[in-house]
Structure 1
């Protein structure tokens, strides 16, 4: 019996301690299993701490302030981008922690089973067959998760963005690895599976553009019309309420944009912070209409 322990230092030492080779082998196996499980949990804890540290650094490190003009920070943009970055980092951190736990603890369990002389080949084969079966049955779910991971990694959109995903257009209220929740202008909530999104139109990333087409009759004084529109552009740019929080560049008058059989169409355009184009467009319409009325210039029908 003592010969069974000659190949293992720990077993031989414990056999001498217990003065029995069988008990020494049992104790050695138990100690090895405990050591394997202990190392597995320690490695899992270390991996989670490293992932948490990386996630926190990714979420908090570095300012994401968007400076659209030299020396001017657009209010609210920095907070929004940092929040998006935090959510993206935390979601990916959760995925990485789950993967680390499965790999480390799964390896530890298989090692323990092998130590107990339990054949793991049939188990691995069964798990492989089960994985294939689950993969076929839950392929849509897997597709959603993979699409959600790439969406988060590429930062295609985030909470607060106004996006067009085909079946629905609205403001993003929540993003997970499986679904994206939108609320449209009517207040309707849409739940869109990430795997079904084939294209995304993001109206809130970087900057947006507000514009207004101004139709005037053919007999209008084009020089006067252009001068009126340029005055409107200068006034709204000089308005601190819009310049500091809504508009990021001086509005431009593009001149005659279109010709029709009954009117000439001027276009005035303004670069805005993300998702502020609707508010700026409404303000432009109001100011342009008031300025044209004051100048005695009539507007034509927009064809």
Structure 2
């Protein structure tokens, strides 16, 4: 039409480049939709274990697990979307450069050298990101959990791929790099346990003390407010747990919803002390 072959070649190249870019953005959009759908399904699908749990107290556990699955799935979805965008758009750019007859071998070599240099300089950052990825995949902890990461114990306020933000009992905020966490003690995952040791004199009637503690356990389990909101199973009396120099030590224990062990422990102490005072059985200070 123009009677000039270079113009025809230029127009053909321009159309090809436009098609490559359009195709890349279409593929990117499709990939993001697929990832979003997978993330939504992962966030809403319940665990197999939750189907076998019964009782109103487990509703709080299921809600917490659902929120954790949602946070973990959204974080992984964000990472996957970024990776997909880099791979798809990067491939499209290289294809366009090749179409424009721009040699990409030196560019790839330069990028490789730059990547190695950045890798050496950002080893700690890469380590943090990899540790954060595995932490999310394995569900080691989530927002709201009380954890011990070695030297710091606190409530998790935020989790990213690089750092975990904790707030301790004094209100101090700690920023812990994920790559430096070598062990995690989670006090809020699944369920917690509240217990109380009850020391009584050697001449106390062991059977009477055990019966009294079992009555306290039954009363706590019969408390609708505690059973529906904080306690997962009926409290148990383990009998004589320890023999000290001056006393027999009984133990009463209760399985609770995550992070409710402190409140249930206080309730145990109050009710056991009241029951012992009523029965005239004194508690003995342990050595």
TM-score of the superposed pair, with normalisation by structure 1 = 0.91
CA contact (8 A) 2:56 2:229 kept: no
- Give the C-alpha shift of residue 32 in structure 1: 1.0
Match of 1:54 in 2: 38
Equivalent residues, number:
287
The residue number in structure 1 matching 2:82 is: 98
Distance 2:80 2:158 in 1: 20
Superposed, which structure 2 residues align to 1:208-223 within 5 Å? Answer: 208-223=192-207
Q: What value does the CA root-mean-square deviation take over the aligned residues?
A: 1.6
Aligned pair 1:293/2:277, yes or no? yes
Partner in structure 1 of residue 231 of structure 2? 247
2:58 alignment counterpart: 74
Q: Report the counterpart of residue 29 of structure 1 in structure 2.
A: 13
Alpha-carbon offset, residue 185 of structure 1: 1.2
Alignment map for 1:108-127 (pairs within 5 Å): 108-127=92-111
- Structure-to-structure mapping, 1:95-244, within 5 angstroms: 95-244=79-228
Secondary structure of the 1:76 match is: helix
Q: Per the alignment, do residues 67 and 113 of structure 1 end up closer, same or farther by CA in structure 2, a change over 3 Å counting?
A: closer
Q: Structure 2: which 5+ runs fail to align?
A: none
Cα shift readout 1:237-288 (whole Å, capped 9, x = no counterpart): 1001111111111111101111112111101111111111111111101110
Equivalent residue of 1:244, what SS?
Answer: helix
Q: How big is the shift at 1:63?
A: 7.3
CA distance in 2, matches of 1:102, 1:154: 25
Q: CA deviation at 1:19?
A: 3.0
* Structure with max Cα Rg: 1
- Matched residues in 1 for 2:138 and 2:116: separation? 29
TM-score, structure 2 length as denominator? 0.96
Considering Cα pairs closer than 8 Å and 6+ residues apart, tell me whether 1 or 2 has the greater RCO. Answer: 2
Where 2:26 maps in the other structure, the secondary structure is helix
